Structure 1
Amino acid sequence: MTPFHRLRRDRRGATAIEYGLIAALIAVAAIAAMKGLGGKLQMTFSNVSSNMKVS
């Protein structure tokens, strides 16, 4: 059997690539969620800070 045929039958590399793509998708979703939440958190902390200065 030629090396090309052995490589074609081997599925371990495909599984590793699939897991890598899933991890990348999760990372992109987490970054997007943090980016969207970041502005709201900054506004909340600013409001808390300004209310503490007034008190």
Structure 2
Amino acid sequence: MKFFRKLRRNEEGATAIEYGLIAALIAVAAITAMTSLGTNLSTTFTKVSSSMTGTPPAQNP
């Protein structure tokens, strides 16, 4: 019975889970930012490449 009382008071596992959740949240935010940045960079490089080869960039409607 003492084991269960001691186990219930132990918060080390909860702290580890909290750190894991924080790390996962940071990873999701970083992946989202990198994906958005990658798309923007791709668009920019496409425009630069088009202007260097002489083809006009596509116009957005």
Q: Normalization by structure 1: what TM-score?
A: 0.76
Aligned to 2:44: 44
Instruction: Identify the structure with bigger relative contact order (alpha carbons < 8 Å, sequence gap 6+).
Output: 2
Structure number with higher helix proportion: 1
Gap regions ≥5 residues in structure 1: none
Gap regions ≥5 residues in structure 2: 55-61
Structure 1 distance, partners of 2:35, 2:4, is: 45
Shift of 1:3: 2.3
Q: Normalization by structure 2: what TM-score?
A: 0.71
Aligned to 1:34: 34
> C-alpha root-mean-square deviation of aligned residues, in Å?
1.5
